[in-house]
A and B are shown apart, each in its own frame.
Chain A
Amino acid sequence: MRWVTHFAASTLSSLGELASAAGLIARWVAGRLMRLRPVLPSAEPPASAVAENQPPVFGRSPRARTRRELLTLASVAMGGIAGIIVAIPVVGALLAPLLRPQPPEWRQVGKIADFAIGTTTAVTFEDPSPLSWAGVASQTAAWLRRTSEDQFQAFSVNCTHLGCPVRWLSEAGLFMCPCHGGVFYGDGSPAAGPPQRALFLYPVRVRDGQVEIQSGPVRIV
């Protein structure tokens, strides 16, 4: 809930600027109103208003703030504040998934013995802190390469060009991307096509005979 206080604080601090903007709008609106000719139920203005030394009902008043200007300012300001109050939870909902803490989590992807040295295998694991209705969308894939007895590399399947999934061709020793023809060597470095960067790596470790990959933010940039 930290983000609520954070959001409210920054909103309140902007209210000062908004108030002065509302004041400008109010002055302008009042000025336009005072130029209008109103359609009254009776054609004659009230007698009291045209008594001598009284200003006409819809005439211009001197520079002092008139009642009308004040009421206009109040209307604009209150309407603005009402809008902001309604907008806070709406914007909060739009931003909520970004502000939800999702610390990376280690996921088991298989026993060491499952991966032969010198091979690259597709592994699947779950995102960190998935929501219960995520279904199949909470899965992520990686290409796990075992380079030696205890060295592993976990490549993100996202091509470093625009994120399409790369396929591993084991006999060719190449990763190939279907979208725009990007090719990567077995060590992830770019071999051909649009990609300029090597395949991104997930942190990997071995614990108790299990290979673990750290599931975290998707690497697309």
Chain B
Amino acid sequence: MRLLTAIWEWFNDRTGIWKLISPFLVHPVPPETIGLKAGWMYLFGIATLTAFTVQVVTGIALATLYVPSTANAYDSLKFITDQATLGSVLRGMHFWGASAMVLFVGIHMIRVFLTGSFKFPREMNWVSGVGLLILTMLMAFTGQLLRWDQNGVWSLFIAAAQAAHVPLLGDWLARFILGGETVGASTLNRFFAFHVFFIPALIFGSIGFHLYLVLHNGISEPPSAARPVDKRSYRTWYQQMIEREGRPYFPEAAWREIGFALLLVCAIVLLAALAGPPHLDNPPNPANVNAYPRPDWYLLWYYALLALLRPDFEPYFIVLAPLLGFLALFLVPFVSHSGQRSPLRRPWAPAIVLVAVLAIGALWRYGAVAPWSPNFAALPLTPEQSGAATGVVAEGASLFYAKGCEFCHTVDGQGGIRGPNLTQVANRMSAGEITAMIADGTSNMPSYVSTLSPEEMQSIVAFLESQSKPAKWGAARSP
């Protein structure tokens, strides 16, 4: 033990390392931040940092196994998932760690916004935080692409198509994303370089700056309605308060953060072991047209937003809306730099958060259900379901599937949800109206006038009528 102490003394004397890190370890924090009432609010930043650390560590491990070449990436992923020791858990930790990082970066931002901690003198903390939010979303997006399966390769086409909507630079941006004129050998490596080297370097720098600012300005005390921020007096007040009542960060506040970090790591490992990594789709062949690309959950709400928009609004929402959104986020501490911090006295703050959470939550739900997508997995109706094995009604039922109607419409509980449920359509519309609708189509339904013969049209209408008025077609049913 004495030898160890001696070694430490020598090392510290030559490097001065204790002088460097002890201010960080023992910097005073307001006593409320370690109390029960408000201490829980301060855990989300460290949760995000823990998730990021998990990502870096598991990412390094994955990088020793993964081959970032368009020809081999899929096989290396299969190897990692099926054969490498604990490879499936590693992939799982990386995915659930990513989910944790996105989740906590959002919760952390909401907490800071609600407690007004972005106000003077911590504006730059917020600005660097928004930068970290953008970098986190970029990591999430590029990371999903590195899961180079069918979903990944088609997600790239969609990303390039979206980038092409940027005015002036669109074409060039699309080709930059694809790494050429189309998806090819150059495509995957670029995303690997961004995801593994370039963006993490920016994140490291930004986190360092973000944490340095916490030391420089002091961690914010919980807001109080009786104490609005006044630029002239806040710094002095904080300094005096912290000298009078401040408690050392380590271990009085740090133990709780480390405990939460431990819980988070356990949760990530548990999810990785039980739920496993994301399922690997088919090989990434751009010539396979039976693909249904979907983003991972963190971008599902944006996917839903694009699906629900009117087509002529789309170019603005693909590029302009995110730009304006991030600009608005950056400007928050300059618009609202002093004054009340308590959410009880700032009704706009909880209102904005509530609306945003509800909107994004609703879009998430929509994105998961995807009611705008045809259901190609729908099976043709059986004679029991259609009510007839032969005759006009049976003919109509099989045409209902063959002509693609069932992919968008549900009859008798089977089919797609893109269009209305047609089980009771004959109660709403006459035979003539149904015929006209099928023939003309709408903006969301094709016109079948040139692809259906009059006999085929009659069969389909008969089938639809028979679902709600079986008696009318009772004679058409054979015993």
Contact of B185 among A134, A183, A191 (CB under 8 A): A134
Select A192's contact among B157, B180, B181, B441, beta carbons within 8 Å.
B441
A138 interface residue (CB < 8 Å to B): yes
- Provided the pairs A137-B153, A172-B403, A221-B161 are in contact, do residues A179 and B373 lie with their beta carbons within 8 angstroms? yes
A69 at the interface (CB under 8 A from B): no
The residue on A at minimum CB distance from B314 is A194
Residues in A neighbouring B290, C-beta threshold 8 A: 165, 167
User: Does B182 make an interface contact (CB < 8 A)?
Assistant: yes
What is the bound-complex CA distance between A97 and B306, given in angstroms?
30
> A25 to B170, alpha carbons, bound, how many Å?
34
User: With an 8 A cutoff between CB atoms, is A193 at the interface?
Assistant: yes
- Report if B266 contacts A (CB, 8 A): no
Q: Inside 8 A of B70's CB, which chain A residues have their CB?
A: 133-138
Query: Which residues of B lie under 8 Å from residue A100 when comparing CB positions?
Result: 180
The yes or no answer to B327 lying at the interface (CB within 8 A) is no
Task: Give the segment of B3-11, B444-452, B462-470 that binds chain A.
Answer: B444-452
**If the complex has contacts A185-B446, A191-B441, A194-B311, are A141 and B287 also in contact, measured as CB distance less than 8 A?**
yes
Q: Tell me the nearest residue of chain A to B148, going by C-beta.
A: A137
Asked if B160 is an interface residue, CB under 8 A from chain A, the answer is: yes
Interface residues on B, range: 35 or more
A42 to nearest B CB, angstroms?
A: 23
Q: Which residues of B contact A176 (CB under 8 A)?
A: 374, 376, 404, 407
A-B contact pairs, 28 of them (CB 8 A): A95-B176, A102-B181, A133-B70, A134-B70, A134-B185, A135-B185, A136-B285, A137-B184, A137-B185, A137-B187, A141-B289, A162-B162, A163-B157, A165-B288, A167-B289, A171-B402, A171-B403, A172-B402, A173-B451, A176-B407, A179-B373, A180-B306, A180-B307, A193-B444, A194-B311, A194-B314, A196-B311, A220-B164
Cα-based distance from A166 to B404 in the complex (angstroms): 14
B53 at the interface (CB under 8 A from A): no
User: C-beta contact mask, A96-111 vs B, less than 8 Å → 1, else 0?
Assistant: 1110101000000000
Contact with B184, one of A96, A138, A174, A186 (Cβ below 8 angstroms): A138
User: Which residue from B157, B293, B404 sits with its C-beta under 8 Å from A172?
Assistant: B404
B180 touches A97 (CB 8 A): yes
Q: How far is the CB of A36 from chain B (nearest CB, A)?
A: 21
CA A221 to CA B293, docked complex, whole Å = 19
Bound complex: CA A157 to CA B182 (Å): 13
Contact B373 A178 (CB under 8 A): yes
Q: Is A92 an interface residue (CB 8 A)?
A: no
Q: How many angstroms from the CA of A108 to the CA of B244 in the assembled complex?
A: 82
Residues of A within 8 A of B402 (CB): 171-172
Tell whether A98 pairs with B160 under 8 Å between CB atoms, given A162-B306, A176-B404.
no
Contact of B178 among A178, A186, A218 (CB under 8 A): A218
Q: What CA separation (Å) do A96 and B441 show in the bound complex?
A: 47
Q: Does B72 reach chain A (CB closer than 8 Å)?
A: yes
Judged by a CB distance under 8 angstroms, whether B186 is at the interface is yes
B408 within 8 A of A: yes
Knowing A179-B158, A180-B307, A191-B441 touch, does A136 contact B284 (C-beta < 8 A)? yes
Residues of A within 8 A of B314 (CB): 194
Is B338 engaged at the interface, CB distance under 8 Å to the other chain? no
- CB-based contact B186/A172 at 8 Å: no
Q: How far is A162 from B72 in the complex, measured between Cα atoms in Å?
A: 27
Say yes or no: A191 contacts B447, CB within 8 Å.
Answer: yes
Collect the chain A residues with CB atoms within 8 Å of residue B188's CB.
137
Q: Is the Cβ of B184 less than 8 Å from the Cβ of A217?
A: no
**Interface 1/0 per residue, A169-213 and B, CB below 8 Å:** 101111010111101011000011111100000000000000000
Query: Are A98's CB and B175's CB within 8 A?
Result: yes
Q: How far is the CB of A161 from chain B (nearest CB, A)?
A: 8
In this assembly, does B179 line the interface, its C-beta being within 8 Å of a C-beta of chain A? Answer: yes
In the assembled complex, which residues on chain A have CB atoms less than 8 Å from the CB atom of B286?
137, 139-141
A191 to B443, CA, bound (A): 8
User: B39 at the A/B interface (Cβ < 8 Å)?
Assistant: no
The residue in chain A whose Cβ has the minimal distance to the Cβ of B418 is A181
* B58 interfacial contact with A, CB 8 Å: no
**B154 to chain A: which residues have CB within 8 Å?**
163-165
Which of A3-11, A55-63, A77-85, A122-130 contacts the other chain?
A122-130
Q: Is A51 an interface residue (CB 8 A)?
A: no
B263 within 8 A of A: no
Cα(A134)–Cα(B291), bound, Å: 20
Q: Which residue of chain A has the shortest Cβ distance to B402 in the bound complex?
A: A171
Residues of B contacting A134 with CB < 8 Å? 70-71, 184-185
Residue in B74, B162, B376, B451 whose beta carbon sits within 8 Å of that of A167 in the complex: B376
Interface string of B261-295 (1 = CB under 8 A from A): 00000000000000000000001111111111100
Query: Are the CB atoms of B376 and A131 closer together than 8 Å?
Result: no
Chain A neighbourhood of B477, CB < 8 A: none
CA distance A172 to B409 in the complex (A): 15
**Nearest CB of chain A from residue B156's CB, rounded to whole Å:** 9
Known pairs A178-B374, A192-B446; A140 contacts B161 (CB<8 A): no
> 13 more A-B contacts (CB under 8 A) besides A134-B184, A180-B306, A194-B314?
A97-B180, A98-B176, A140-B287, A158-B157, A163-B157, A164-B158, A169-B403, A178-B373, A181-B307, A181-B373, A192-B442, A220-B157, A220-B164
Return A83 CB to nearest CB of chain B, in Å: 16
CB neighbours (8 Å) of B128 from chain A are none
The chain B residue sitting closest to A221, CB to CB, is B164
Q: For A23, list chain B residues within 8 Å (CB).
A: none
Given A133-B69, A135-B70, A164-B291; A218-B183 close (CB under 8 Å): yes
A133 and B451 form a contact (CB under 8 A): no
Decide if B372 is an interface residue (CB 8 Å cutoff).
yes
How far, in Å, is A191 (CB) from chain B's closest CB? 3
With A and B bound together, what is the CA distance between A158 and B286 in angstroms?
Answer: 10
